[in-house]
Each structure stands twice: as structure tokens, then as C-alpha cells.
């Protein structure tokens, strides 16, 4: 028998743990927490007709699996002075998307944006106090980002709150 020398092969890494699929109870739990992220686990368990221990373990799993990525406060933009909302569509130089993305993340007025396919490369939701701030955002900030070729701005007249969209 021939003896082999050298470095032993590393054992294969265990397969990445796949998150458990969501069942109906998980979906109901998420829906309750979307309505009220401050809900006590006891109240959540009562609404779902499960034990508190089950509610705690399911909630921990949903957070661990990043189904629930955090808990936050939803503000009424008008109540905090952000009375003007717009969608800004942008066409950018294709090799500049990383730099444009990074620059957009630094603009406090940008609430959300997505890199898209189609007529526009980026669609961003922005909120500002008034037209003067909107002008500065579009003309001084967004259009001065290297790689942004052009923008179009659509004024939002009315929004449907997120909580009205959940069934």
C-alpha cells in the first residue's frame, strides 16, 4: 500500500442552511407585525391563537432567517414637513451604476430607489419640504452626479398608505 503525503483535503463545508418556507401562520404573524411592529408577543400569540412560546420561537426564526429584517417607525411625511413627493427617473451611463447608486444613498431626500430595466435605469422616490428644495435636489444634487445623463420628475399628488395595501 502506497502512503500519500501532502496536505489532507479539507472536509466539504456543510450546505448553507435554507430558511424554512413560510406557512400560513408565519404569514399571518408577519401581517400582524406589519400593522403594528410594537405589538407585544403576548398580544401577537393571542391574535394568532398560539402559545407565547410558539410565538417567540417563530418570531426568532423569522428574524434569524431575515424574513423580518428589522422593526421601524413609519412617519407621516407631511407631519414632519416633507410635503412634496416626487418620483425621479434617471438614465445613466451603464458603467456608472455603482457610483450613481452610492451617491444616491447619501442624499437624505431619497426615500427609496431601484435599479431597473426598461426606459429608465433608476427610479427614485424623493420627499422634500417644498419646490425650492426639490429644485436643489434635482438640479444641484442629482443632475451633478457623474454618470447621470438625464432625469424626469413626476409629482405625486396622492399616495395610498402601505397599510391599506395589505390584505
Closest of 127, 135, 87 to residue 108, by C-alpha: 127
Give the domain-ending residue among 64, 91, 116: 64
Report residue 12's pLDDT band, with 50, 70 and 90 as the boundaries: low
Assess whether 93 and 126 both reside in one domain: yes
The reply to whether 10 falls in a domain is: no
Q: Give me the pLDDT at residue 113, please.
A: 97
> What is the number of domains present in the chain?
2
pLDDT at 128 (0 to 100): 98
Which residue from 125, 127, 86, 122 is spatially nearest to 101, judged by alpha carbons? 122
The predicted pLDDT at position 122 comes to 98
Highest mean pLDDT: which range of 1-5, 27-31, 75-79: 27-31
Residue 71 inside a domain? The answer is no
Residue 165 in domain: no
Residue 157 cell numbers, joined: 399628488
In a 3-state reduction of DSSP, which class is residue 47? helix
Pairing mode, strands 148-155 and 110-115: unpaired
> What would the pLDDT profile of 38-81 be if each residue is shown by its tens digit?
999 999 999 999 999 999 999 999 999 999 999 888 888 999 99
Integer Cα distance of 147 and 110 in angstroms: 18
81 and 142: one domain? yes
Q: CB within 8 A of 87, min separation 6: which ones?
A: 123, 124, 125, 126, 153, 154, 156
Give residues with Cβ within 8 angstroms of 85, minimum separation 6: 77, 125, 126, 127, 155, 156, 159
Residue 51 domain boundaries: 24-64
Q: What is the CATH number of the domain that holds 45?
A: 1.10.10
pTM, entire model = 0.71
The answer to whether residue 2 sits within a structural domain is: no
Task: Count the alpha carbons within 13 Å of 125 in the hemisphere toward its beta carbon.
Answer: 8
Average the pLDDT over 19-38 and give the result: 91
Rounded Cα gap, residues 58 and 25, in angstroms: 9
Amino acid at each position: 500500500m502506497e502512503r500519500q503525503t501532502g496536505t489532507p483535503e479539507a472536509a466539504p463545508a456543510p450546505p448553507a442552511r435554507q430558511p424554512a418556507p413560510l406557512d400560513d401562520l408565519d404569514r399571518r404573524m408577519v401581517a400582524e407585525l406589519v400593522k403594528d411592529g410594537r405589538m407585544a408577543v403576548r398580544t401577537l400569540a393571542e391574535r394568532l391563537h398560539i402559545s407565547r412560546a410558539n410565538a417567540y420561537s417563530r418570531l426568532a426564526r423569522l428574524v434569524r432567517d431575515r424574513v423580518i429584517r428589522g422593526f421601524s417607525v413609519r412617519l407621516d411625511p407631511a407631519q414632519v414637513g416633507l410635503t412634496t413627493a416626487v418620483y425621479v427617473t434617471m438614465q445613466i451611463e451603464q458603467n456608472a451604476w455603482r457610483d450613481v447608486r452610492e451617491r444616491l444613498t447619501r442624499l437624505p431626500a431619497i426615500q427609496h430607489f431601484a435599479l431597473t430595466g426598461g426606459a429608465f435605469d433608476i427610479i427614485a422616490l424623493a420627499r422634500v419640504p417644498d419646490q425650492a428644495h426639490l429644485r436643489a435636489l434635482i438640479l444641484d444634487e442629482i443632475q451633478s452626479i457623474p454618470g447621470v445623463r438625464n432625469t424626469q420628475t413626476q409629482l405625486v399628488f396622492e399616495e395610498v398608505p402601505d397599510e391599506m395595501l395589505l390584505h
